[in-house]
Structure 1
Amino acid sequence: MRELPALLEKLGGAGQAGTAGTAGYAAQAEALLEQYEGVGFEEVHQRVLPLLPPAPAQVLDLGAGTGRDAAALAGRGYRVTAAEPVAELRELGRRRHAGVDIEWVAGALPQLPGITGPFDLIMGTAVWMHLSPAERARAFERVLELLAPGGTLVLTVRHGPVPAGRRMFEVPDAELLGQARAAGLRLVHRDERSDLHGRADVRWSELGFVRD
C-alpha cells in the first residue's frame, strides 16, 4: 500500500479550516463504517460511471471516509489518493481495505496541504456541504489547481436537515454551476437522486464537469 510518511500526514491534518466540517464523525466512526460500506460503489455512483476516465488514471477521492469508493476505484485499476481528515475513519478504512493499493492522506478541504496533482478524476462525495460559502470558494480554486487538463470533476452534494452535532450548509447547484462556468469547466452531468439510506427528507445532487 502506498502511504505518505506519518509525519506529513499529521502536519497535513493540523490547523485546517475545513476540519470544522468533520464535527461528530470521529465519535461515530464505527457506526459510519457500517453505513458507508453497506451501500456499494456502483449503486451510489451508477449514473456517473460513464464519466470515469480509462484506467490507470490518477484519482483523488475527497472526504474518502472509510475508503469504499477509493477501494472500488483501485480495484478497477486506478491509482487512487484517498484524502480523509478524520483519523478514526482513515484507520478503519486502512483496516477494512488492507492490501488495496490506496494512498491515504489526511488533507482536509479547503487547503488540501501535501497533495499534489494533477489528477485525471477528482470525486467529492458527501463533502461539499460541510464547507461554508467562503471555504467552498477556496476549495473550488484548490480543486482546479489539482485537476489535470481534460480531467473530470464529480461532486455529489447532500441536501436536507442537518443531523445533531454536525456542521453542514446548503449548497445551491447554481453556485457550483457558476463557479464551473467561470473556470471554463464543461457540464457533462447533472442529476438528482433520493437518499440510499431511506431518509425521506434527504436528497442528493450529482454534478459532473470536464476541463477541456
Structure 2
Amino acid sequence: MASTAGYGEAAKALAEQYESVTFTEVHREVLHLFPSRPSSVLDVGAGSGRDAAALAARGHRVVAAEPTPELLLLGRGIHADQEIEWVDDALPELPGLTGQRRHFDLILLTAVWMHLDERERTSAMGRLVSLLGSGGRVILSLRQGPVPAGRRMFPVSARETIGLARSHGLNVIHEAKREDPHGRPGVSWTYLGLQL
C-alpha cells in the first residue's frame, strides 16, 4: 500500500477538515520555532496548503510538496491568492527537489512521518538533512492513535525519531505533546523541533 493510500479518494473532505483549523491552532506548540525573517520553507505533504499559505502570508518563500494529485489541485485552488510553488514530490526521496539541489531554512512535516515505514524513515531523514541549509530546522508532528480505514500508517515514537535525527546531525530543540486539534477520539500528537 502506498503512503498516500486513501487520500485521493477523500481529498475534498480532507481539504475541508484541514482548512477547518488554522495554522496557528495546529502549530501552537511550535510557533516560536518558525523563522521571524523571510526564509525559504519546504512544506512536505502540504495537503490543502493551509500551512504553506499561512507561511507565504508571513513573507516566506514557500515550496509545497504534495504527492496526491487531487489534494495538490485543491490546494492550488483554495490558496491561489498566495505565492506558493507547488510541486508533485514525496518522501522518502523527494527526487524532484533533490535533483534541483535546493536548500531550505525550514522544512515542515505536518502529519506525514507516520506514513513511512522504518526503512523509509531512515532514508527520509537523510534526505531532509541534505535539503537543509546551514542551521536549518525541521518541524514535524508524530501521530499517535487508531489508523483510519484504508490508510497506511505505522507506529512511530518520539524516542525513535529523536535518535534517528541525532544520527543524522540534528539536535532536538523542542518536544511537546498535545491533544488532536480536530478532536478525534484517541488521537494525540508529539511535536518535535530539530536543528542542523
Contact 1:194 1:200 in 2 (8 A): no
1:32 matched to 2:14: yes
Q: 1:1-212 maps to which residues of 2 (within 5 A)?
A: 20-115=2-97, 116-211=101-196
Shift of 1:48: 0.8
Aligned length: 193
State which drifts further: 120-129 or 170-179.
Answer: 170-179
Distance in 2 (CA, whole Å) between partners of 1:79 and 1:180 is 25
Distance in 2 (CA, whole Å) between partners of 1:40 and 1:194 is 15
Distance in 2 (CA, whole Å) between partners of 1:132 and 1:200 is 24
Distance in 2 (CA, whole Å) between partners of 1:68 and 1:43 is 11
Shift of 1:138: 0.5
Distance in 2 (CA, whole Å) between partners of 1:149 and 1:157 is 25
Distance in 1 (CA, whole Å) between partners of 2:175 and 2:2 is 28
Opposite residue 174 of structure 2, the aligned amino acid is H
Shift of 1:100: 0.9
Opposite residue 112 of structure 2, the aligned amino acid is V
Distance in 1 (CA, whole Å) between partners of 2:2 and 2:37 is 34
Opposite residue 61 of structure 2, the aligned amino acid is R
Q: 3-state DSSP class of the match of 1:114?
A: helix
Structure 2 length as normaliser, TM-score?
A: 0.96
Distance in 1 (CA, whole Å) between partners of 2:102 and 2:36 is 17
1:97-149 CA distance string (max 9 Å, x none): 01210000010100101114210000000000000110111000100100111
Opposite residue 54 of structure 1, the aligned amino acid is S
Runs of at least 5 residues in structure 2 that lack an aligned partner in the other structure: none
Contact 2:125 2:168 in 1 (8 A): no
Distance in 2 (CA, whole Å) between partners of 1:159 and 1:114 is 30
Structure 1 length as normaliser, TM-score?
A: 0.89
Structure 2 partner of 1:12: none
Distance in 1 (CA, whole Å) between partners of 2:37 and 2:12 is 32
Shift of 1:187: 1.0
Opposite residue 179 of structure 2, the aligned amino acid is S
Q: 3-state DSSP class of the match of 2:191?
A: strand
Runs of at least 5 residues in structure 1 that lack an aligned partner in the other structure: 1-18
Opposite residue 57 of structure 1, the aligned amino acid is S
Q: 3-state DSSP class of the match of 2:72?
A: helix
Report runs of 4+ in structure 1 exceeding 3 Å deviation. Answer: none
